[in-house]
Amino acid sequence: MCRPTTKNATRLLLTTESFGNDTIPDKKSTFMTMASIVAILFAIEHTVRAVLFAFKDIHPILEDEKNQMILARHVGVDFTCCVAVSWIGLANRHHMSDLLDSFFSMGKKTMDENFENRLFKFVPGGNHVLLMFFAYQVKNTYDTIIWNDGPEYLFHHILAGTAAWGGMYPGCAQYYAIFFMGISEVSTAILVLLANFDPDLGVEGLEDVLPMTRIVVAVAFVIAFIFCRTLLWPCTTYYFCKDVFAALAADSKEAKTHKKWLWTFMVTLTGLSMLQVIWLGQIIILAREEILKLMEEN
């Protein structure tokens, strides 16, 4: 199979169609688009802050400038980006219909052995997800440092950003990017809304102002996390690892060309999968605490 070449025409890559059908966009286009997306995110963030400031008299909780900044970050930046990448991923789910069929049939339908198409074929929708996701991680890393979120978040953003770049250049596993950096972000989109209620990372006192909203968002997140991260994530990881080991064993030209990135993906996926386990444990602990709290109140 021919390795995809790089287009030289510099352009903004804001739609899936703008990526073309068979060639990797040039890096100038990627950097220009990434810078544009990050600039747009800063603009959205400041716009949301301006709106919250204008309506700060609605409730005392909005009078605090820090609260305005937190809401602007979580809603204006994080929620917007997660919705964008998950939407792009869902819009291109047809590319990985064989994997989804296998998942929903509980293994009765199996995927073919053509790992080259899944690992080395240029997928415009996958590339679109990767670029949007990479731009988000650039802004995410900046925000994490500014807000001092913690080393685990910084670790996640750097790992995820590294994997996204490798998926774009030299161009690898774009089929799997549709899930890992697209569809799976459905749960993250809900999580960033839930983060507003966190006493440490969110708006202090918001859970007392909107208690039922917090419960609804929390339940929606648990459902989405279980489906996307606890069920579909391991299934996709299994097929990805199977394809990578098959490619390395075949020792083909494509496998040799992408060998370093294939191993990099394996390492980053292992790290990110470990985080899923840690976060699942935290969810279980928090869910238990919330259930006990509700039982005490009743």
pLDDT at 2: 44
pLDDT at 110: 85
Mean pLDDT by 10 residues, the chain (298 residues): 57 92 89 97 97 94 94 96 97 95 89 90 95 96 91 85 91 94 94 89 90 91 91 93 91 83 87 78 74 68
CA distance 94 to 122: 15
CA distance 16 to 219: 32
| Residue located via tokens 């219909």 | 97
CA distances (Å), origin 234, targets 9, 105, 186, 226: 38, 15, 16, 11
Residue 112 phi/psi, 5-degree rounding, is -75, 175
b (16+ CB within 10 A) / e for 96-120 = bebbbebbeeeeeeeeeeebbebbb
Name 298's Cβ contacts closer than 8 Å, sequence gap at least 6.
none
The one-letter amino acid at 191:
L
Read off the pTM.
Answer: 0.89
| Residue located via tokens 């648990």 | 222
pLDDT at 201: 78
